[in-house]
């Protein structure tokens, strides 16, 4: 799915500034599955993480962006551009982050930065438009960040879980399912992993390789909160998908995807 021209114009400005200042940036959030898999939720929003040495350094960078056509949003990390573009730009650096936490000045808000180090590590350059490429966290890194974001603010981040499930169901489609055949013959909880469940298993296995031990603790803690199809996270996903009327069938389906994902994460599936 193509990104609209106004968002591309904003990203060109951001990419130029980052290059001029020798910073590192990685795109995360809803933009990522638009680039790697078909993504159903329309958005003008872009999420990114950029290196900064201090809050003063981050403010200086924001000042340059304002001079280039951006304007402030409702929060320190929010940048607006044109009619509808919003970029949430998170600063990251040793002078800002302590114990994997980022404390926003004057906002009474502390944000977990678990998964950000992994996002920088696994980022791949992606062509977004002609002459514009930016590092993008691939789907395993995105799933990690979204689970961390949900665990940080579970009442506010239900849409992240809906995005995770979408990634489970559509991961590897761009490769015409070639890697899904690698899961043939694998069983989870006594049931063979179906072809359309293989993406969840592969994501679990790849996330286990990517994530730091502390990040994995958070992911496993989240999975413990999904014991059955009536768990709060699944109810939130159904509400986001607007499928509450099909609660029973879809709930079991989502639960199964999380079980398959957990098997890939823990490498405890068995071959028939």
- Check whether 184 has a pLDDT greater than 70: yes
Looking at the fold, whether 121 and 164 belong to one and the same domain comes out as no
Residue 21 · residue 4 · CB < 8 Å: no
The reply to whether 124 and 32 lie within a common domain is yes
State mean pLDDT over 45-65.
95
* Percent over 70 (pLDDT), the chain: 87
| Number of domains present in the structure of the chain | 2
Mean pLDDT for 141-149 is 95
Most confident by average pLDDT, 51-55, 102-106, 191-195: 51-55
Residue after which a domain boundary falls, among 82, 111, 137: 137
Quick check: 24 pLDDT over 70?
Answer: yes
What's the pLDDT band for 31 if we cut at 50, 70, 90?
low
Q: For residue 152, is pLDDT > 90?
A: yes
Q: Domain with 69 in it: what CATH number?
A: 3.30.460
215 part of a folded domain:
yes
Q: Are residues 171 and 131 in the same domain?
A: no
Q: Mean pLDDT, to the nearest integer, of 200-215? A: 95
Q: Is residue 167 part of a domain?
A: yes
Percent of the chain with pLDDT over 90: 70
pTM of the model: 0.89
- How many whole angstroms separate alpha carbon 123 and alpha carbon 86? 22
Tokens of 104: 């926003």
Domain annotation covers residue 174 = yes
**Taking 70 as the threshold, does the pLDDT of residue 127 lie above it?**
yes
Instruction: Say if strands 71-72 and 97-98 run parallel, antiparallel, or are unpaired.
Output: unpaired
Q: 43 pLDDT exceeds 90?
A: no
Range of the domain at 79: 5-137
Give the model's pLDDT for residue 271: 47
Residue at which a domain ends, from 107, 137, 167: 137
Measured from the Cβ of residue 198, the count of other Cβ atoms closer than 10 Å reads: 23
Domain termination site, one of 94, 116, 137: 137
Residues 92 and 20 in one domain: yes
Q: Answer yes or no: is pLDDT of 247 > 70.
A: no
> Are 90 and 167 in a shared domain?
no
Determine the Cα–Cα distance for residues 240 and 162; give it in Å rounded to an integer.
Answer: 6
What's the mean per-residue pLDDT of the chain? 88
Do 37 and 131 belong to one domain? yes
Mean pLDDT, residues 123-151 taken together: 93
Q: Is residue 143 part of a domain?
A: no
Cβ pair 139, 154 in contact under 8 A: no
Task: Tell me, letter by letter, the H, E, C secondary structure of 84-102.
Answer: CEEEEEEEECCCCEECCEE
3-state SS class at 269: coil
pLDDT of residue 262: 97
* 193 and 133 part of one domain: no
142 in a domain, yes or no?
no
Asked whether the predicted pLDDT for residue 257 surpasses 90, the reply is yes
Domain shared by 18 and 95, yes or no: yes
Could you tell me if 160 and 89 lie in one domain?
no
pLDDT digits (tens, 9 = 90+) for 92-108: 999 999 999 999 987 67
CA–CA separation, 220 vs 233, rounded Å?
A: 14
Q: Which helix (H) or strand (E) holds 109?
A: strand 109-112
Residues 132 and 152 in one domain: no
The answer for 172, left when phi > 0, alpha when psi is -120 to 50, beta otherwise, is left
Residue 154 sits in the same domain as residue 98: no
The answer as to whether 34 is a domain residue is yes
Whether the pLDDT of residue 62 is over 60: the answer is yes
Residues ≥6 apart with Cβ < 8 Å to 54:
93, 95, 96
Answer whether residue 37 is part of any domain: yes
Of residues 178 and 129, which shows the higher confidence score?
129
Q: Does 269 score more than 60 pLDDT?
A: no
* 42 within some domain: yes
Assess whether 75 and 125 both reside in one domain: yes
Structure tokens at 43: 């958005």
What tens digit of pLDDT does each residue of 67-82 get?
999 999 988 899 999 9
37 falls in which pLDDT band (50, 70, 90)? low
**Rg of the Cα atoms in the chain:** 19
């Amino acid at each position: 799915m193509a990104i609209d021209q106004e968002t591309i114009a904003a990203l060109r400005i951001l990419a130029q500034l980052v290059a001029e200042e020798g910073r590192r940036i990685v795109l995360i959030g809803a933009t990522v599955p638009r680039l790697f898999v078909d993504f159903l939720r329309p958005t003008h929003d872009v999420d990114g993480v950029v290196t900064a040495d201090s809050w003063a350094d981050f403010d200086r960078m924001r000042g340059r962006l304002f001079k280039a056509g951006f304007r402030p949003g409702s929060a320190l990390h929010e940048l607006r551009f044109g009619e509808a573009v919003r970029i949430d730009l998170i600063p990251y650096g040793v002078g800002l982050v302590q114990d994997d936490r980022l404390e926003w000045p004057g906002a009474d808000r502390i944000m977990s930065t678990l998964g950000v180090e992994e996002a920088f590590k696994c980022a791949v350059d992606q062509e977004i438009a002609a002459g514009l490429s930016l590092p993008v966290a691939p789907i395993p890194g995105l799933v990690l960040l979204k689970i961390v974001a949900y665990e940080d603010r579970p009442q506010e981040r239900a849409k992240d879980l809906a995005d995770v499930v979408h990634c489970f169901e559509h991961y590897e489609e761009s490769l015409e399912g070639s890697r899904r055949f690698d899961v043939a013959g694998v069983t989870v909880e006594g049931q063979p992993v179906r072809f359309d469940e293989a993406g969840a298993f592969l994501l679990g296995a790849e996330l286990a390789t990517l994530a730091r031990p502390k990040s994995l603790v958070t992911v496993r803690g989240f999975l413990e909160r999904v014991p059955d199809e009536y768990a709060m996270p699944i109810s939130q996903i159904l509400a986001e998908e607007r499928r509450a009327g099909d609660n029973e069938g879809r709930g079991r389906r989502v639960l199964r995807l999380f079980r398959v994902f957990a098997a890939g994460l823990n490498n405890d599936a068995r071959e028939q």
